[in-house]
A = this chain, B = another copy of it.
Amino acid sequence: MADLSKTRILASADELAREVPDGATIVVFKDSGVPMETARALIRRGAKDLHLVTVPTSGLFADLLIAAGCVATIETAGVSLGEFGPAHNFARAVKTGTVTIRDSTCPAVYAGLQAAHKGIPFMPLRGLIGSDLMRVRDDYRVIDNPYGENDPIVAIPAIRPDIALVHVPLADRFGNLWIGRAAELRILAQASARTLASAEEIVEDNILEDERLAAACLPRHYVSALAQAPRGAWPMDMPGRYGVDSGHMRGYAEQTREAAGTAAYVRALVEAAPAAAE
């Protein structure tokens, strides 16, 4: 039985983070509103053993959760801080085996989620054959294209996360989310059992009743809980609202080059009051 309950409106990202049980499989989109405040809230609550699926790649979100010891397994097409350089905590955790890595490639992550989105057990995908990814991902199979002759094609199994974590520019008090051009958030939400959302702004009026907004909305039926988190993507950017905090990102990249610096960064973050209480 689905959708009986309304979206619950929570007071803060910290309350959202309490909805994520240890060991949950969570999925997060690479940009257009990365739920960084929710990531910090997960660290503050001491989340453990998360299985993190990045769509299809990640940067600070994955690196920071790994740095704080919240992640047991990461499934990703790549983790990098982009113009700010390598993701040191990710690389360290993979090299020492403290995090289990399930390496993928961007369209394979999408294919797995879209299979779940369509309710099919797998999605065919071109490419990949001959890549060592096929050697290390024994869940990726090669099947015969029934419409070809001697035409192998890869089957990517459905990825069905427990929880999609999203951060959006605008939501309404009913739980409808305006996702803008980030149509991928629809895939995340529909492939996942539940969606926990934070929003820069929560408005009173039903945004589905505005035809221009409605065209790019994720309806509340997919959203289990919603909390307001102003500047919730900081220090990453929120397109149309604020840019990346380059100074902070450069500092993070520099400080976390060594494990000791990482420990200090995480300690400061846990000891700081949550953003909502500042």
Contact = CB atoms under 8 A, between A and B. Distances in A.
A179 B216 CA distance: 11
Contact of A141 (B120, B146, B212, B215): B146
B146 A143 contact: yes
Given A216-B216, A240-B211, A145 B121 contact: yes
Interface stretch (A13-21, A40-48, A122-130): A122-130
A125 to B, nearest CB: 7
Interface string A213-256: 11110000000000000000000000110000000000000000
A157 B153 CA distance: 14
A215 B183 CA distance: 8
A148 interface: yes
A155 interface: yes
Given A141-B146, A143-B143, A153 B215 contact: no
Given A125-B120, A126-B119, A215-B215, A147 B143 contact: no
A153 B141 CA distance: 16
A86 interface: no
Each complex incorporates copies of this chain amounting to: 2
B122 A180 contact: no
A215 B214 CA distance: 10
A155 B180 CA distance: 33
Nearest to A178: B215
A121 B149 CA distance: 12
A181 interface: yes
A121 B122 contact: no
A39 to B, nearest CB: 25
Contacts of A183: 183
B125 A124 contact: no
Nearest to A180: B215
Contact of A155 (B146, B215, B216): B146
Contacts of A239: 211
Contacts of A212: 212-213, 216
A123 B115 CA distance: 10
A29 B240 CA distance: 32
A141 B125 CA distance: 18
Contacts of A126: 119-120
In this complex, the member of A111, A141, A153, A215 whose beta carbon has the largest number of chain B beta carbons within 10 angstroms is A215
Given A120-B123, A120-B126, A212-B216, 9 more contacts: A120-B124, A120-B125, A121-B145, A122-B124, A122-B145, A123-B124, A211-B240, A215-B215, A216-B216
Interface of A: 111, 114, 118-126, 141, 143, 145-148, 151, 153, 155, 157, 179-181, 183, 211-216, 239-240
